[in-house]
Amino acid sequence: MRDFKLYNRRRSIPPWFALLLSLTVFALDRWSKYIVETTLSFSDTKAVIPGFFDIVRSQNPGVAFGLFAQSNLPFRTAILIGFSVLAICILAVLLTRIRRWDRPTGLGVALVFGGALGNVFDRLHAGTVTDFLDFYVGTHHWYTFNIADTAICIGAGLLILSMLRPPHVT
C-alpha cells in the first residue's frame, strides 16, 4: 500500500496545482471575454492572420459547436445551466481524487473543470456564452469558440489519451 501512495505522489499532480490550473483557465477565459465584450461590437472583425484567423464577437445560446443554439425550447437556458452545474459538481468530486491518477488524467480533469466554470459563469450571467476565436480557410469557417472551449477540448483529449494508454505496471 505504501508503494502505491509513493507511486501516485511521483506521477500525479498535486491537488493545489490542479486547483491553480483550473482557476487560471477560468481567469484567462473571463479576462479574454471581458476584453472582447468591451472592445468589439457584434459587427467588428479584427484580422489576426488574414484568410485564416480573426477575432470576432458572437454569443452562443447553445452548447459546444452551436448545438441546440436554434432550439426553441422554453427552458433551454435553464436545462443547459442544470446540466453544466451537474457536470461541474462531478468534476469537483473527481478533482478531490486527483492523487490517484497519472498526470495526463489529472491535467485533463483540471482543464475541463476550469473551462466548464468559465462557460457556466457566462450562461448564469447572460444566458449565452461569448465566443470570439474564428478560424477559417476561404469561406469555410470552424465554429467560433473561446478559451474555456479550448481548455475543455485539450482536457478531453488528455483524458482520451489516458484511457487509450496501457496501464503502468510497477
Q: For the chain, give every domain's residue range.
A: 2-164
Q: Kindly report the pTM of this predicted structure.
A: 0.80
pLDDT number for residue 90: 85
3-state secondary structure (DSSP) of residue 106: helix
Closest CA to 26 of 86, 74, 92, 70: 92
The Cα–Cα gap between 126 and 10 comes to 42
Q: Which one is catalytic: 102, 122, 131, 134?
A: 131
CB neighbours (10 Å) of residue 50? 7
pLDDT number for residue 166: 73
pLDDT number for residue 53: 95
pLDDT number for residue 77: 65
pLDDT number for residue 56: 94
One digit per residue, pLDDT tens: the chain, 170 residues? 444 444 445 578 898 999 999 999 999 999 999 999 999 998 889 999 999 999 999 988 765 555 445 556 556 667 777 787 888 888 888 888 777 888 899 999 999 999 999 999 998 888 888 999 999 998 888 888 999 999 999 999 999 998 887 765 54
Catalytic-residue membership of 3: no
pLDDT number for residue 72: 61
Catalytic-residue membership of 149: yes
Q: Which one is catalytic: 29, 122, 134, 149?
A: 149
pLDDT number for residue 40: 93
